[in-house]
Amino acid sequence: MAINYPIVGIPCDINRSGINASHGVGEKYINAIAHGSRVCPILIPAQGPGEDLESMDENMFVGSLLNKLDGLFLAGSPSNIMPDLYGDEASLTPNDHDSQRDSMSLLLIKAAFKRKMPILAVCRGMQEVNVALGGTLHQRVQDVEGLNDHREDKHLPREEQYGDSHTVQLRATGELIKLVDTETIRVNSLHGQGIKQLAEGLVTEAHASDDLVEAFRLNDDDHFVWAVQWHPEWQFKTNIFSSALFASFGNSVRTFAQKKASKIDA
């Protein structure tokens, strides 16, 4: 009997090679969603505001996409969110932005939020969810008094960059702590931006030793919106917490898909 896998959309980054731009998502994210959550991932081009797309109705475009999706996954990226999107001053990292991903991801998040579609977000994705819902960011965490440097050493091999670098404290009364039998976990850390103020409706699920928010969720038991600042997709199969996180997302996506199908059948 054929299995109909729920479909999870993953917004792309814009990558430039020479004079050409391409849309893409890191393979490790796709693997974690496909094999960890056991759903069907599809990549969503970062259409707006892109080249020659001035006539496109972005809201209609996003609505058409979400009609075909059962979940949304926001991956990490080397780029930073434009500070004008959360009311901040001029950019402190002007060469590290991806305005097309900003535009598409924020539209998708807001529209998926209204539909109570499951959302899982990682690193930049976590920051996107916070900004989309009205929160703010530190542009450069390492320059904020009292906060640590959460960036990776780019001179190290990939395995070491993504290796565990610090401990996070899970909220004792939260949901993430239910995934593991411990109050603290070791995580990797590869980010320059970070949460400054959480959006209304979000609750902290984990924080670092400097009190920087490392995970949050939507304070709504009927709507799965979870986000982590680290990279659980890295070696997710061998990490108990990461495996449980992606499995939980997959379960929520399947529940959403079943409810959507039952409404159509009715």
Extended strands (E) in the chain: 7-11, 13-17, 20-24, 40-44, 71-74, 119-122, 136-138, 166-170, 184-187, 194-197, 202-208, 213-218, 225-228
Extended strands (E) in 5-84: 7-11, 13-17, 20-24, 40-44, 71-74
Cα(17)–Cα(47) distance, integer angstroms: 18
Instruction: Write out the residue range of the structural domain in which residue 162 sits.
Output: 7-265
The pTM (predicted TM-score) of the whole model is: 0.95
Cα(109)–Cα(145) distance, integer angstroms: 31
Cα(26)–Cα(59) distance, integer angstroms: 26
The whole-number pLDDT of residue 61 equals 80
97: which DSSP letter? Answer: B
Cα(136)–Cα(146) distance, integer angstroms: 18
Cα(254)–Cα(74) distance, integer angstroms: 18
The whole-number pLDDT of residue 59 equals 73
Cα(24)–Cα(105) distance, integer angstroms: 14
The whole-number pLDDT of residue 158 equals 96
pLDDT digits (tens, 9 = 90+) for 137-146: 999 999 999 9
Catalytic residue among 23, 150, 207, 231: 231
The whole-number pLDDT of residue 100 equals 92
Catalytic residue among 128, 205, 214, 233: 233
> Is 212 among the domain residues?
yes
> Is 192 among the domain residues?
yes
Task: Identify the CATH number of the domain in which residue 224 sits.
Answer: 3.40.50.880
The whole-number pLDDT of residue 131 equals 98
The whole-number pLDDT of residue 47 equals 78
> Is 163 among the domain residues?
yes
Domains: count for the chain: 1
> Is 14 among the domain residues?
yes
**Does residue 231 carry a catalytic annotation?**
yes
> Is 1 among the domain residues?
no
> Is 246 among the domain residues?
yes
The whole-number pLDDT of residue 110 equals 96
178: which DSSP letter? Answer: G
Q: State the maximum Cα–Cα separation within the chain, in Å, rounded to a whole number.
A: 59
The whole-number pLDDT of residue 150 equals 97
Catalytic residue among 12, 23, 123, 214: 123
- Phi, psi (degrees; rounded to nearest 5) at 173: -105, 15
**Sequence-distant contacts of 92-98: CB under 8 A, at least 24 apart:** 92/139, 92/140, 92/143, 93/139, 93/140, 93/192, 98/13, 98/14, 98/46
Cα(2)–Cα(192) distance, integer angstroms: 44
Name the percent of the chain lying above pLDDT 70. Answer: 94
Cis amide bond preceding 232, omega within 30: no
The whole-number pLDDT of residue 264 equals 73
> Is 2 among the domain residues?
no
The whole-number pLDDT of residue 115 equals 96
20: which DSSP letter? Answer: E
Kind plus residue range of the DSSP H or E element containing 250? helix 240-265
**Does residue 150 carry a catalytic annotation?**
no
The whole-number pLDDT of residue 4 equals 82
Q: Which residues of the chain have pLDDT under 50?
A: 1
> Is 95 among the domain residues?
yes
